[in-house]
Amino acid sequence: MKELVINTLMYIYIVMVLFVTLMPFPIPFAASNNLFIETANFIPFRDLALNYDGAVREIILNVIMMMPFGFLYPIIKKKGVLVSIVLTFFFSLFIESFQLLSAWWASLHSRSFDVTDLITNTLGGLIGYLIYTALKPFIYKVLKE
């Protein structure tokens, strides 16, 4: 029963992350934006280096957003740090890729690909995994009861 609760938490978490990061998602009637790649940032921590407002806040929020994934995934799948981090990276890459596509499909520039997000999301997954490791004896004690 407790494993069902953990699995349900993971699914709810994933749906919430996808909703927050991808909505509104435009429906592609035609590829209207030939300059969509200009909305992408391929320079790590560019916003931070350029002192943009909100850069630190965005980094912190991206780390926090992926911590539950790094925490819950090894509980559900009983996988190690490498698999957990790689899956966190690919989950983040999926989100960032769809954000890039949304910029291509529509002239809405509310979402864009950012390599910093990819790095900070993956770091969040690692921190989540480290928290899981620290709490592992307690977690499995609670799950066995």
What residue segments make up the domains of the chain, in order of their start?
A: 1-22+68-145
In the numeric block, the tokens 């926090």 are attached to 64
Cβ-based neighbour number of residue 14 at 10 Å: 14
Cβ-based neighbour number of residue 12 at 10 Å: 11
Ranking 20-24, 30-34, 78-82, 93-97 by mean pLDDT, the lowest is 30-34
The pTM score is 0.84
Q: What is the pLDDT of residue 108?
A: 52
Ranking 35-49, 101-115, 127-141 by mean pLDDT, the lowest is 101-115
DSSP summary character for residue 42: -
Helices 115-144 and 2-22 cross at an angle (nearest 10°) of 160
| pLDDT above 90: residue 29 | no
Q: What is the pLDDT of residue 2?
A: 83
Q: Which of 66, 63, 72, 71 is nearest to 88 (CA)?
A: 66
